[in-house]
A and B are shown apart, each in its own frame.
Chain A
Amino acid sequence: MFRYLMILGLTLFLPGLYALGYSVYQGPSAWMVDSQTFWGTPISLFVFWIGLAHAGTLLSAIFLALDIKLDRRTALIAELSTLVSLVFAGIFPLMHLGVIDNFYMVAPFLDARGNFANVRSPLVWDFCCIAVYALLSLLFFGVHLKSREIPALDKYRKPLAWLLFPLVLWVHTIVSLDFAATFVPQWRGAFFPVYFIAGAILSGLALVNLLICAEGYRVRLLERLQLICTWILCAIWIWDLILKGYFCTSAFIFAGVLPQLRMVSVIREHRLGRIFFSVSILVGLFLERYYLVSPTAASATFGRIDLGLVAFSVGGFMLLFFGIRRYLNRNMEGAGSYFGEVDGTDLAEAEQEEFEKENFTGVRGIQKLRKGFYMQPWSSEEYRILRFPLLVGFAAAVLFSVWVWSQSVFANVDLSIANVIPLLYPIVAVVTAFTLCVRAYFVEKSFDMTRREKTLCVVLLVLAAACLGTFFAGGSSEKSAKVLDSQPIGVDTPVSQNHARLVWNARCATCHGTDGRFNEKFVREFYPVPQKLDLQRLDSLGADSLVKVILNGRNNMNAYAGRLTPEEALGLVNYMRTLAEMLSENAAPESVKEGEK
């Protein structure tokens, strides 16, 4: 089964890879680009895949955090799909850049040049959120896998889930702000955070349901949630319609109307029917994002490259996801117990029914209520584990804000707290998770890693360090090829007194001195003493003849014809008058001084 899916994925992936390569080579003109926003398919795909990436953490973490039970294999499938989706969600914003080599400039680290990313930009928030989300999802998945062997790790899952719960919502909120914070009329929407989260949850659910179908079982809870989500999304679309008079009919049909067929039991009970609902929802949501990202009538049409990019992501996802599934099935001991090959489908279903009953009818709750169920605030196990790391995380976030504010880049920028808030939680989360890991490593005695895992950790650390180093160092810029030799002659325009002064100091002061007296040191040793500068002499010679002297030279005076323009020479003559005036003013007291001697 997985093998055929992989082959299908591969057949989609290979032409898609060509499209990707061509896009990277050709740049943004390769695909359909909206005439107003300059964005296009890659950003639609990014929003789509980041939505799908919510499946795993949403289901696994949020259900775990909220005590809604989900069996292990569904949770693991969901978590794995998150990781794989994130890979593709990460590729598209990267490849859509005009100058891909400069992508590191988006990271809010100080670089060797002393630059800093503009933390006011939602794209910077995006970058941080997605990076942190990917890291923590990987960690969550790893802990989940490992907790089977080392039960001690199980108690870290819930704290991590609570950490991921806001993060997963945060990520999509930030993605929505990419749109909502702009002036594009079609993206007016302070409600976009909720809208995008609803869309993401729905697409995530649809993806997990689809994957579960591929595994050959079903989880009714998720199917129901999926149906309910379509209603809520439809309600949001209606509000969008009220607000802007804009409605994506195709999305409404695919993701709003068709899934309602689930109410027909014949279709619901058939596996193909269930696959149909999920696919229809996914198609609908992709179309929705597509029309959202390209709001104005496109000047180009959806072309082969756009299709190729879609194929690349879909095929790539299938290839990677089922590849990993197959790999895990083969190479991991007891993969069955992870991914449920041994559970019978019926068993799971029965189990599921029970969970649902418990969760939604409150049977379990009433039992607990009878027992006098009550928990002191701030006393839960997960909170105690999370307490110290959270403190470290918050401290780091505060430090980061202070550091950002002190960046000189923001000296001319009206930076407000609203600009930095979106960055804070990802920082809290990543630092907290890191501290949690360090703590777990030292606290848990039974915790040890196999050699391969250790190598993996080291490789990851080295990669991370290499990334940070690259971000810090930045690219180099091409040096100018200009060769400078002697000063070229300037344009012959009238020169100001100030300019004349500069010319005088550079060209004349060697002999004549900056103040119009002689440059004693130079003249005394080598050169004939030049004529004294006084007003009478200047007047008697006249400006014209002085200009000629400067340009053509006389006696010991050199010719400057090739090096000064006539206007510059005239400027010098004028400046000489000023100097002479200054000299005659100073002469009187000095002659008195000499007399005293």
Chain B
Amino acid sequence: MGESCVPEHTPGPIPFDHALHGDSIGLDCAACHTGARASANAYMPSKADCMDCHRLPLTENPGIETLDSVLAKADDRPWSHKRILPEHVVFHHGVHAAAGVACSDCHGSNHMQNRYGGEKFDMQSCLKCHRGETFKEKGFKPAATYCAACHR
């Protein structure tokens, strides 16, 4: 029962820390996870996305040199994850972000410690939020609950 969501990140060779890249330096999640606010899927950053910033020596931290060398050798698309929703489910990541749902509402804040997955999404939890039964304090507008809003 239920479709539990366990994103399978391929732990690439690139050492990465969410805590260093998040709010502390004024970066939005969508800056790297492009599409998170704009399109149906939230994507992983490509090497080019990393290099936008990392082509300059950014800090004086001792690790930065090894990081830069690893990055230089890395794949064009160093990270990937599996879309765990079934084919017949339409989930538009951007529309949820646009509706004011914060990233941590669904994904928690575990990723700041670089622990991924563990979110449990099933139809019941979708429906509950869409009906306005959960996240009452956030004051989301009730969303569509007819089948064809999310299924095809």
Tell whether, in the assembled complex, residue B83 and residue A482 are in contact, meaning their CB atoms are under 8 Å apart. Answer: yes
Task: Tell me whether A487 and B86 are in contact in the complex, defined as CB-CB below 8 angstroms, given that A411-B145, A502-B94, A526-B25 are known contacts.
Answer: no
Q: Is B48 at the interface (CB under 8 A from chain A)?
A: yes
Tell whether, in the assembled complex, residue B52 and residue A484 are in contact, meaning their CB atoms are under 8 Å apart. Answer: no
Q: Is A509 at the interface (CB under 8 A from chain B)?
A: yes
Q: Which of B29-37, B66-74, B100-108 contacts A (4 or more CB under 8 A)?
A: B29-37
Q: Is the interface of B mostly helix, strand, loop or mixed?
A: loop
Tell whether, in the assembled complex, residue A484 and residue B43 are in contact, meaning their CB atoms are under 8 Å apart. Answer: yes
Task: Give Cα distance in the complex from A522 to B25, angstroms.
Answer: 5
Tell whether, in the assembled complex, residue A510 and residue B31 are in contact, meaning their CB atoms are under 8 Å apart. Answer: yes
Q: Which of B29-70 contact A (CB under 8 A)?
A: 30-31, 34-39, 41-46, 48-49, 51-53, 55-56, 58-59
Tell whether, in the assembled complex, residue B2 and residue A525 are in contact, meaning their CB atoms are under 8 Å apart. Answer: no
Tell whether, in the assembled complex, residue A485 and residue B38 are in contact, meaning their CB atoms are under 8 Å apart. Answer: no
Tell whether, in the assembled complex, residue A480 and residue B26 are in contact, meaning their CB atoms are under 8 Å apart. Answer: no
- Using Cβ atoms and an 8 Å threshold, which residues of chain B touch A510? 26-28, 31, 52
Q: Is A473 at the interface (CB under 8 A from chain B)?
A: yes
Tell whether, in the assembled complex, residue A484 and residue B44 are in contact, meaning their CB atoms are under 8 Å apart. Answer: yes
Q: Is A245 at the interface (CB under 8 A from chain B)?
A: no
Tell whether, in the assembled complex, residue A474 and residue B77 are in contact, meaning their CB atoms are under 8 Å apart. Answer: no
Task: Give Cα distance in the complex from A507 to B33, angstroms.
Answer: 10
- Of A112, A113, A408, which is within 8 A of B145 by CB? A408
Tell whether, in the assembled complex, residue A527 and residue B37 are in contact, meaning their CB atoms are under 8 Å apart. Answer: no
Task: Tell me whether A484 and B46 are in contact in the complex, defined as CB-CB below 8 angstroms, given that A112-B1, A408-B145 are known contacts.
Answer: no
Task: Give Cα distance in the complex from A304 to B94, angstroms.
Answer: 56
- Of A473, A482, A506, which is within 8 A of B30 by CB? A506
- Using Cβ atoms and an 8 Å threshold, which residues of chain A touch B131? 408
Task: Tell me whether A526 and B49 are in contact in the complex, defined as CB-CB below 8 angstroms, given that A484-B43, A506-B34, A507-B34 are known contacts.
Answer: no
Tell whether, in the assembled complex, residue B145 and residue A483 are in contact, meaning their CB atoms are under 8 Å apart. Answer: no
- Using Cβ atoms and an 8 Å threshold, which residues of chain B touch A330? none
- Of A114, A482, A526, which is within 8 A of B53 by CB? A526
Q: Is B116 at the interface (CB under 8 A from chain A)?
A: no
- Using Cβ atoms and an 8 Å threshold, which residues of chain A touch B146? 411-412
Tell whether, in the assembled complex, residue A483 and residue B80 are in contact, meaning their CB atoms are under 8 Å apart. Answer: yes
Task: Give Cα distance in the complex from A482 to B80, angstroms.
Answer: 10
Q: Is B140 at the interface (CB under 8 A from chain A)?
A: no
Q: Is the interface of A mostly helix, strand, loop or mixed?
A: loop
Q: Is A351 at the interface (CB under 8 A from chain B)?
A: no
Tell whether, in the assembled complex, residue B87 and residue A484 are in contact, meaning their CB atoms are under 8 Å apart. Answer: no
Q: Is B120 at the interface (CB under 8 A from chain A)?
A: no
**Interface size on A (CB < 8 Å)?**
40
- Of B39, B52, B127, which is within 8 A of A487 by CB? B39
Q: Is A479 at the interface (CB under 8 A from chain B)?
A: yes
- Using Cβ atoms and an 8 Å threshold, which residues of chain B touch A147? none
Tell whether, in the assembled complex, residue B28 and residue A509 are in contact, meaning their CB atoms are under 8 Å apart. Answer: yes
Q: Which of A259-296 contact B (CB under 8 A)?
A: none
Within the complex, the shortest CB–CB distance from B5 to chain A, in Å, comes to: 9
Q: Is B115 at the interface (CB under 8 A from chain A)?
A: no
Q: Is A212 at the interface (CB under 8 A from chain B)?
A: no
- Using Cβ atoms and an 8 Å threshold, which residues of chain A touch B19? none
Q: Which of B71-104 contact A (CB under 8 A)?
A: 76-77, 79-88, 94
Within the complex, the shortest CB–CB distance from A406 to chain B, in Å, comes to: 12
Task: Give Cα distance in the complex from A502 to B87, angstroms.
Answer: 26
Residue of B nearest to A487 (CB): B43
Interface residues of A (CB under 8 A from B): 112-115, 408, 411-412, 473-474, 476-487, 499, 502-503, 505-507, 509-510, 519-522, 525-527, 556, 558, 562-563
Q: Which 10 pairs, one residue from A and one from B, show the smallest C-beta to C-beta distance?
A: A521-B26, A486-B46, A502-B38, A485-B80, A113-B123, A487-B43, A522-B26, A485-B77, A114-B127, A482-B83
Given pairs A412-B146, A480-B84, A506-B37, 15 additional interface contacts (CB within 8 A) = A411-B145, A473-B1, A478-B86, A482-B82, A484-B41, A485-B44, A486-B34, A486-B45, A486-B46, A486-B49, A505-B28, A505-B30, A510-B26, A522-B27, A525-B26
Can you give 16 A-B contacts (C-beta < 8 A)?
A112-B1, A411-B145, A474-B1, A479-B85, A483-B80, A486-B46, A486-B48, A487-B43, A502-B94, A506-B37, A506-B38, A507-B34, A510-B27, A526-B59, A558-B48, A563-B34
